[in-house]
């Protein structure tokens, strides 16, 4: 039988929790065979998502796990040979019970991920979520206004 895939789940309550979460994520990324650069990109994405859960939702929870599977074809309209071999990757799930993300805002960070979202005084730079989209292989944001936010981001080796 193959050994279980490594994972961890941690509460996130303070901005500085992002450092420990990113470090633990890198440990799993190394196990999954991500390159040094990809490990660092994953660390930045984890730090941004943890920071968001703390700053915009008052805290939440992060789950990071190694996964094994066949990455989806990024461009199904191109009939190129697709690698069907299972690969290892890292899945990051950050959940909170905060105010939710405005769906328009969530889509904006995906569609023009290098353009900062509009800012109000006292807010952050508005580039964190866009960076997460660029640094990860896939990002899905599930948000219920006034109830919760869940961001699921995957990076394949
Ligand atoms: N977990 C969350 N709950 C509620 N709103 C969120 C959450 N994450 C992000 N948002 C909203 O989406 C916006 C964009 O997030 P993003 O991380 O890109 O920018 P930011 O956190 O404001 O600034 P920074 O550039 O420092 O990350 C935030 O300003 C906030 O309004
Ligand atoms: Mg942010």
How far, in Å, is the centroid of ligand 1 from the Cα of 130? 10
- C-beta of 25 in contact with ligand 1 (< 6 A): no
| Predicted local confidence at residue 36, as pLDDT | 98
| Predicted local confidence at residue 105, as pLDDT | 82
Kindly report whether the global pTM for this prediction surpasses the value 0.85: yes
Mean pLDDT of the chain: 91
Mean of pLDDT values over 17-35: 98
How far, in Å, is the centroid of ligand 1 from the Cα of 85? 36
Ligand 1: atom nearest CA of 130 is 18
User: If DSSP codes are grouped into helix, strand and coil, which group holds residue 21?
Assistant: helix
Annotated domain spans of the chain: 7-70+86-156
- 77 vs 146, residue with greater confidence: 146
Please name which of 100, 97, 92, 93 lies closest in space to residue 13, comparing C-alpha atoms: 97
State the alpha helices, DSSP H only, in 60-125.
103-111
- C-beta of 127 in contact with ligand 1 (< 6 A): yes
Burial of 38 (0-12, 13-18, 19+ CB in 10 A): buried
Which band of pLDDT confidence, cut at 50, 70 and 90, is reported for residue 69? very high
Q: For a pocket test of ligand 1, which of 49, 126, 134 has the largest count of ligand atoms closer than 8 A to its C-beta?
A: 126
- C-beta of 117 in contact with ligand 1 (< 6 A): yes
Q: For a pocket test of ligand 1, which of 57, 112, 129 has the largest count of ligand atoms closer than 8 A to its C-beta?
A: 129
Rg (the chain; Cα; Å):
16
Task: Tell me the CATH number of domain 7-70+86-156, given options 3.65.10.10, 3.30.565.10, 3.40.1030.10, 3.40.50.620.
Answer: 3.30.565.10
Q: What is the pLDDT of residues 71-128, one digit of tens each?
A: 988 777 776 667 788 999 999 999 999 999 988 888 878 776 566 677 777 778 888 9
Which string of b and e fits 129-144 if b means at least 16 CB within 10 Å?
bbbbbebbeebebebe
- C-beta of 47 in contact with ligand 1 (< 6 A): no
The answer, yes or no, to whether residue 39 has pLDDT greater than 90, is yes
């Amino acid at each position: 039988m193959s050994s279980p895939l490594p994972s961890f789940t941690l509460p996130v309550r303070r901005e500085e929790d992002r450092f420990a979460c990113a470090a633990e994520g890198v440990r799993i990324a190394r196990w999954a065979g991500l390159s040094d650069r990809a490990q660092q990109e994953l660390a930045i994405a984890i730090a941004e998502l943890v920071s968001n859960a703390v700053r915009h939702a008052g805290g939440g929870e992060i789950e990071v796990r190694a996964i094994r599977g066949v990455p989806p074809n990024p461009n199904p309209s191109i009939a190129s040979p697709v690698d069907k071999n299972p690969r290892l990757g890292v899945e990051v799930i950050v959940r909170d019970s905060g105010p939710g993300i405005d769906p328009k805002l969530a889509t904006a960070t995906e569609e023009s991920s290098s353009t900062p979202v509009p800012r109000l005084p006292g807010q952050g730079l508005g580039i964190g979520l866009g960076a997460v989209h660029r640094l990860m292989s896939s990002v899905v944001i599930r948000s219920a206004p006034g109830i919760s936010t869940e961001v699921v981001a995957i990076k394949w080796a």
